[in-house]
Amino acid sequence: MMLEHVLVLSAYLLSIGIYGLITSRNMVRALMCLELILNAVNINFVTFSDLFDSRQLKGNVFSIFVIAIAAAEAAIGLAIVSSIHRNRKSTRINQSNLLNK
């Protein structure tokens, strides 16, 4: 694939993720948009690692670390969302102020 195509794909994923994160009112949707943003970053890591120095796998290894951290973030985020849903009966962001009872 050409470099421009991959960068355009990554830019689209990043744009969709940022737009969804800003406009999302649901916590699960916000977590999914955050995952889109992280995947766009991973695509850039792998692409530029292959472009500049294909003998070293620094970008690929860093991308694997980001994927592992994103998986942990998704698991913790979904646990928090399910706990809030159990207590508040809603996953809407504007109704999830934990300081108010």
- Model confidence pTM above 0.75: yes
Averaged pLDDT, groups of 10, the chain, 101 residues long = 88 96 90 93 89 80 90 92 84 70 58
- Collapsing DSSP states into helix, strand and coil, what is residue 79? helix
Give the residue ranges of DSSP H helices in the chain. Answer: 3-23, 27-52, 58-88
Q: How high is the pLDDT of residue 17? A: 95
Q: How high is the pLDDT of residue 84? A: 84
Q: How high is the pLDDT of residue 99? A: 62
| Distance between CA atoms of residues 100 and 15, nearest Å | 33
| Distance between CA atoms of residues 11 and 79, nearest Å | 30
Q: Which domains does the chain have, with CATH numbers?
A: 3-95 (1.10.287.3510)
Q: How high is the pLDDT of residue 100? A: 64
Distance linking the first and last C-alpha atoms of the chain:
53
